[in-house]
């Protein structure tokens, strides 16, 4: 009897305000893949959940493409498989759905061969499909991650567990925003003043999360590199980011999740009112939204 393996990968939010292309956080919203060898003459893929109607249920599926590339790179033959994908992660909303799929593809190889790839190999295969390692690191390793890309795509990363002392409110608007479009509006150069501003605040965010000094997030999540330029693509964003100045009880800080359009809020309490304030701004701009109350995921990719 063929053994079925389950690969689970968390959603990820990146940038965290000023930490553009560097900071990441894994969230308990999951992509799950059940896979087993098939006696059929071709691979079968079943999709359920977010994106099931728009993503390919064929060998063009990103999970399958990454799995196939990993088998080829490791010099092994990929058998026909049955793959059942259930996805909770909204697609093209700044929540690392493509990174989760890439990590899932590599995880399928690891599950079927009982081999775990080291981080260098993991990133080497993954970066062929996505050139930004911040989501990839958070999706694979969980917790809070800091990544840096060097020459020849060499990745240096740090990962830490985050204590469950704060809550995450994620507000997902109904429209999609492709990462390529969101990156295209960011200037190719910036002033020294703005660079210093972001270095200071991204450092505060790292300190806040590692030392449980969450009051620092209010200042640490400020940004001058990407959020101001993405505001025209996300109606209401500028007003939403100003909510952290409104003295709302329980709100620690607020920022764009990844490239957007989802909104990430760090909260201690009072999630209902905080969501209502964000929802009202989106509604004023004729945008519907959905709230998610989430926890930080400290496990990353799991195989069972």
DSSP label of 293: E
CB atoms within 10 A of CB 42: 9
104 to 33, 63, 151, 169: CA distances (angstroms): 7, 6, 26, 25
User: pLDDT 10s per residue in the chain (304 long)?
Assistant: 478 999 999 999 999 999 999 999 999 999 999 999 987 778 999 999 999 999 999 999 999 999 999 999 999 999 999 999 999 999 999 999 999 999 999 999 999 999 999 999 999 999 999 988 999 999 999 999 999 998 777 899 999 999 989 999 999 999 999 999 999 999 999 999 999 999 999 999 999 999 999 999 999 999 999 999 999 999 999 999 999 999 999 999 999 999 999 999 999 999 999 999 999 999 999 999 999 999 999 999 999 9
- Identify the pLDDT of residue 202: 98
Characterize the bridge pairing of strands 167-173 and 155-160: unpaired
DSSP label of 300: -
Alpha-helical (H) ranges within the chain are: 62-73, 97-113, 119-126, 133-141, 179-184, 192-211, 217-220, 227-230, 237-241, 271-284
Asked if the 167-294 domain carries CATH number 3.40.980.10, the reply is no
pTM, full prediction: 0.95
Q: What is the Rg, in whole angstroms, of the alpha carbon atoms belonging to the chain?
A: 19
- Identify the pLDDT of residue 39: 78
Pairwise CA distance, residues 63 & 36, whole Å: 14
- Identify the pLDDT of residue 41: 77
- Identify the pLDDT of residue 150: 87
Q: Tell me the sheet residues that pair with 31.
A: 9, 87
Please name the residue that has the structure tokens 């400020």. Answer: 222
CATH of domain 5-161+297-303: 3.30.230.10
Ranges of each domain in the chain: 5-161+297-303, 167-294
Nearest to 258 by CA among 121, 127, 139: 139
Q: Which residues contact 48 (CB under 8 A, 6 or more apart)?
A: 84, 85, 86, 87
- Identify the pLDDT of residue 40: 79
- Identify the pLDDT of residue 1: 42
224 to 18, 62, 132, 231: CA distances (angstroms): 7, 33, 20, 12
Characterize the bridge pairing of strands 302-303 and 289-294: unpaired
164 to 28, 123, 143, 262: CA distances (angstroms): 12, 28, 11, 22
């Amino acid at each position: 009897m063929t053994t079925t393996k389950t690969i689970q990968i968390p959603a990820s939010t990146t940038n965290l305000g000023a930490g553009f292309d560097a900071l990441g956080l894994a969230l308990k919203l999951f992509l799950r893949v059940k896979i087993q060898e098939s006696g059929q003459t071709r691979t079968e893929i079943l999709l359920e959940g977010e994106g099931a109607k728009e993503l390919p249920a064929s060998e063009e599926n990103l999970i399958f493409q990454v799995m196939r590339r990993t088998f080829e790179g490791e010099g092994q033959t990929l058998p026909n498989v049955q793959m059942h994908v259930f996805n909770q992660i909204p697609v093209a909303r700044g929540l690392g759905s493509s990174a989760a799929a890439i990590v899932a593809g590599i995880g399928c190889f690891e599950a079927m061969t009982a081999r775990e790839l080291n981080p260098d190999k993991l990133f080497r295969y993954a970066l062929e499909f996505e050139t930004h390692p911040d989501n990839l690191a958070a999706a694979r390793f969980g917790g809070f991650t800091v990544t840096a890309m060097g020459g020849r795509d060499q990745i240096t990363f740090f990962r830490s567990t985050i204590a469950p002392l704060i809550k995450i409110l994620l507000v997902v608007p109904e429209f999609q925003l492709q990462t390529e479009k969101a990156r295209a509006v960011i200037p190719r150069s910036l002033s020294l003043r703005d660079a210093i501003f972001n270095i200071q605040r991204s450092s505060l965010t790292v300190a806040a999360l590692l030392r449980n000094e969450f009051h620092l997030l209010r200042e640490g999540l400020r940004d001058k590199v990407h959020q101001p330029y993405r505001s025209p693509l996300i109606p209401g964003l500028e007003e939403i980011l100003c909510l952290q100045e409104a003295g709302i009880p329980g709100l620690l800080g607020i920022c764009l999740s990844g490239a957007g359009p989802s909104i990430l809020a760090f909260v201690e309490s009072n999630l209902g009112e905080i969501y209502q304030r964000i929802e009202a701004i989106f509604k004023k701009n004729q945008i519907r939204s959905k709230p998610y109350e989430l926890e930080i995921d400290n496990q990353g990719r799991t195989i069972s």
